Chains A and B, each alone.
Chain A
Amino acid sequence: MMAVLSKSDRPLIELDQVGKQFGSVVALKDITFAARPGTVHCLLGDNGAGKSTLIKILSGVHQPTAGEMRIDGEPIVLTSPRQALDKGIATVFQDLAMIPLMSITRNFFLGREPTRGRFLLRRIDMRHADEIVYEQLSQMGINVRDPQQAVGTLSGGERQCVAIARAVYHGARILILDEPTSALGVHQASIVLRYIAQARERGIGVIFITHNIHHAYPIADMFTLLNRGKAHGTFAKSEISEAEVLDLMAGRRDLKHLDAELARPAPQA
């Protein structure tokens, strides 16, 4: 664990015993973890573990009902996704916030269009925007034929990459990725993972949220396990194997039980 810490700076974002209640329902309780620049921090949890609630707290959609959130060491309550963005926290949701009928460039700069000219002649600098999109996507090894083509024409992996590239380009310091590879095939997923590694090299802190350890283990530096709304410890990769993570996640007994249940006597020769 110390090895990871020494190569990182202080945490960009910290949760300290954060909890969230909806009425009498406790969705999250005592969540404590910190994301550091240049690190991929994997939040692992099964369905219903509280991943979605946690993402929404991190991205400013929900506000915690207990505990404290800190950005750059300063306590903060994020009140809107816009405020989170301004603080450099960009969330790539599963639906990607991409509009299929709009062009790649228009999607890439949606809400932050570069303009030229003044007053009535103020317009989107489309040529400049196209060039940036080329450049950014080429660096990821994605060869788009034309940045003016509709996003709907891209494959799932390409769309994921465009969504991540958009967040990175617009100055994300913390990148929250919600199941970025779950819907992808092996090849597409590897492109996305390679790009996440690139983002890490640039010093971006990545929070990788998934229910499937196989998607995150190759790239994650740290793991925080969630189960039924609680955090079950944070581990550095050197401390824990994939199998151990899996065990902790599912609850050891469950899997043993399943093994026994599914086991069949070897077929008679």
Chain B
Amino acid sequence: MTHDLASDPAAAAVSAQNARARRRGGFAARMLRRPELGAFGATIFVFLFFAVTAGDSGLFSVLGITNFLQVSAQLGILSAAVALLMIGGEFDLSLGSMIGFAGIIIGICVVQFGLPIWLSVIITFLVAIVIGALNGLLVTRTRLPSFIVTLASYFVLRGLSLVVTRMLTGRTQIPYITKDTTEGTFVSLFAGKFGRGFFTWLGHMGWIDLRPDGLPVVQGLPMSVAWWIGLTALATWILVRTRFGNWIFAVGGDIGAARNVGVPVERVKIMLFIGTACAATLFATIQVLEAGSADVLRGTQKEFEAVIAAVIGGNLLTGGYGSAIGAMFGSLIFGTVQMGIFYTGVDNDWFMVFLGLMVLVAVLFNNYVRRKATEAR
């Protein structure tokens, strides 16, 4: 169905005009249309704010930076998946319970059944895929709001974690998961550090302090940061470059329209729920292997924090619009403010107040941006 432009001078003229317009509406216009613009601005504001108020408190020392990056990274792993799900028009309230549940499965597999850690982690991911698929199936089959369906799984999963753990161990915690492990390499994949060479070099150059034994105070960034960056890149790739990403926007934007043009809407939603369940499991794996123990109460409130980070990052609560990079900035703001308040010595309770207000401002701003984006020009 291609047509020869040259044969129609009028069309060719319009086309040339279009080409000129394309060049004119260049880089700046494209950037202004990005959903993460607001979050990017807010990140800069937050950094400047703490640079002024907490500049000499150590927040921006190497150790401080590592701290807030670690907080941001763990949340960011969740919010990358949550962003995709929210753009697809759904919620997953079971995220936090899934973290506790996944940690417990790893713990039980290793401690109770004596399985190797790598196998336990793989089993846990398989379980997560099943749970995510169940969430997705329930939402698409019953046509109930995902808010209700995952509220149910929120309680079921947390309850199951308690029941199973108490039944098998008599307690609600599983310690000694990484004790005497011979799987150092596998564990360090999740709980290790990267960039050691770079930090050693920084130490040698005298740019960061050295400990008495000659090693730098910070020997590398936690692996969670690498996972965070990797997952955000993957989510962004999926969202803006693949067919599946196009379908995510479509099912969140208008599910009826998406169905009419042949998008497999059920499959898309189920995949997104599997995505959040797997992100929760990755989070749990990192926590369990870093701490060496699992606890049924791990991940409490993470479902809200991840949504907050995604919303601050420009993702619409109603679906159809947003970005994974935005969620990354949202998580960075979250981590920076949490640590910043700690470093400035302000009562930590203020963090929640700030968070609530931040969400409100972000939603108002997002709605404004959406209105602008669809205004007839």
Which residues of A pack against B, CB within 8 Å?
81-82, 85, 93, 95-102, 106, 109-113, 115, 122-124, 126, 134-135, 138-139, 141, 143-146, 148-150, 152-155, 168-171
Contact = CB atoms under 8 A, between A and B. Distances in A.
The 3 closest A-B pairs by CB, nearest first: A152-B374, A99-B253, A97-B257
Contact of B263 (A111, A144, A148, A149): A111
A145 B20 CA distance: 9
Given A81-B260, A124-B246, A170-B1, 5 more contacts: A93-B260, A95-B256, A102-B249, A149-B377, A152-B374
Given A123-B241, A152-B373, A153-B375, A144 B262 contact: no
Contact of A99 (B2, B14, B250): B250
Contacts of B14: 138, 141, 143
Contacts, number: 126
A155 to B, nearest CB: 6
Given A99-B320, A138-B15, A145 B243 contact: no
27 contacts: A81-B260, A95-B257, A97-B257, A99-B257, A100-B253, A101-B253, A101-B321, A102-B249, A102-B320, A110-B263, A111-B247, A111-B261, A112-B262, A123-B237, A124-B243, A134-B19, A135-B5, A138-B18, A139-B11, A141-B14, A145-B18, A146-B22, A150-B374, A152-B373, A152-B376, A153-B374, A154-B376
Q: Which of B5, B17, B250 has the most CB of A within 10 A?
A: B250
Main secondary structure on B side of the interface with A: helix
A99 B242 contact: no
B343 to A, nearest CB: 39
A134 B258 CA distance: 23
Contacts of A168: 1
A145 B25 contact: yes
Contact of B258 (A99, A141, A155): A99
A82 B17 CA distance: 36
B3 A135 contact: yes
Contact of B242 (A82, A122, A146): A122
B18 A134 contact: yes
Q: Which of A81, A98, A101, A149 has the most CB of B within 10 A?
A: A101
B291 to A, nearest CB: 33
A53 to B, nearest CB: 17
A126 B241 CA distance: 8
Nearest to A80: B262
B261 A97 contact: yes
A90 to B, nearest CB: 10
Contact of A134 (B15, B250, B256): B15
A113 B376 CA distance: 26
A58 B59 CA distance: 66
Contact of B11 (A106, A123, A138, A148): A138
Q: Which of A100, A134, A135, A138 has the most CB of B within 10 A?
A: A138
A81 B262 contact: yes
A145 B18 CA distance: 6
A82 B243 CA distance: 18
Contacts of B29: 146
Nearest to A114: B243
Q: Which of A110, A155, A171 has the most CB of B within 10 A?
A: A110
A61 B21 CA distance: 41
Nearest to A166: B261
Contacts of B257: 95-99
Contacts of A110: 246-247, 250, 258, 261, 263
Contacts of A146: 21-22, 25, 29
Contacts of A123: 237, 241-242
A138 B5 CA distance: 9
